[in-house]
């Protein structure tokens, strides 16, 4: 299989990333969430985060035609609060096009994030995993810490799992694949 090119995201990629987020989240989450929760949460979740796009730690994966088929990154800042805890990094806004699931795109993004975070002295990764993405994160070595409900606007709580993994854990290419 030909490798997919991984590129540093730029603010100009916002329309393609938002389109990918809307399609991937809208399609892949339907079996795990009530329709009303998704209808209320997707307009917020399905938009590229301008701060992440400009951070230098957010990436896209392109197919042969140059279309964005994967995106994701990491930050030192805690999602929602912006707080920074020494040694803790946060996996942010990962998505893979539904037609490209299982081709290593998410793993490629994660390996780049892990390598960068390790090089910058991070010790622990945290992520808020949607319910459908839990097997992906577990295959990368993440462990469930807590069930959470993330506020997604007035009166909308989005069920998720807080998950953690050491940044210097086993090579995810050798982890069990799902």
Q: Is the pLDDT of residue 7 over 60?
A: yes
Task: Provide the 8-state DSSP code for 137.
Answer: H
pLDDT at 3: 64
Q: Is the pLDDT of residue 178 over 70?
A: no
pLDDT tens digits, 107-125: 999 999 999 999 999 999 9
- Between the alpha carbon of residue 6 and those of residues 111, 135, 159, the distances in Å are 11, 23, 30
pLDDT tens digits, 20-44: 999 999 999 999 999 999 999 999 9
DSSP-assigned beta bridge partners for residue 157: 151
CATH 3.40.630.30 assigned to domain 6-127? The reply is yes
Given a contact cutoff of 8 angstroms between Cβ atoms, the answer to whether 131 and 158 are in contact is no
Query: What distance in Å separates the CA atoms of residue 32 and residue 29, rounded to the nearest whole number?
Result: 5
Please count the other Cβ atoms lying within 10 Å of the Cβ belonging to residue 84: 13
Domain ranges in the chain are 6-127
Question: Mean pLDDT in the chain?
Answer: 91
pTM for the full model? 0.90
């Amino acid at each position: 299989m030909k490798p997919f090119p991984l590129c540093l995201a730029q603010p100009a990629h916002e329309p393609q990333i938002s389109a990918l987020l809307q399609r991937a989240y809208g399609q892949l989450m339907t079996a795990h969430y009530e329709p009303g929760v998704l209808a209320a949460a997707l307009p917020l979740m399905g938009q590229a985060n301008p701060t992440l796009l400009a951070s230098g730690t957010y990436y896209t994966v392109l197919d042969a035609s140059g279309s964005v088929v994967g995106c994701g990154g990491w930050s030192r800042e805690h999602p929602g609060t912006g707080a920074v805890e020494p040694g803790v990094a946060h996996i942010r806004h990962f998505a893979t096009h539904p037609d490209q699931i299982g081709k290593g795109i998410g793993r490629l993004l994660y390996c780049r994030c892990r390598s960068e975070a390790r090089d910058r002295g991070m010790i622990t990764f945290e992520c808020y995993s949607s319910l459908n993405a839990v097997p992906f994160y577990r295959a990368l070595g993440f462990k469930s810490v807590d069930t959470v409900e993330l506020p997604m606007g007035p009166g909308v709580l989005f069920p998720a799992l807080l998950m953690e993994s050491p940044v210097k854990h086993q090579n995810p290419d050798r982890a069990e694949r799902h």
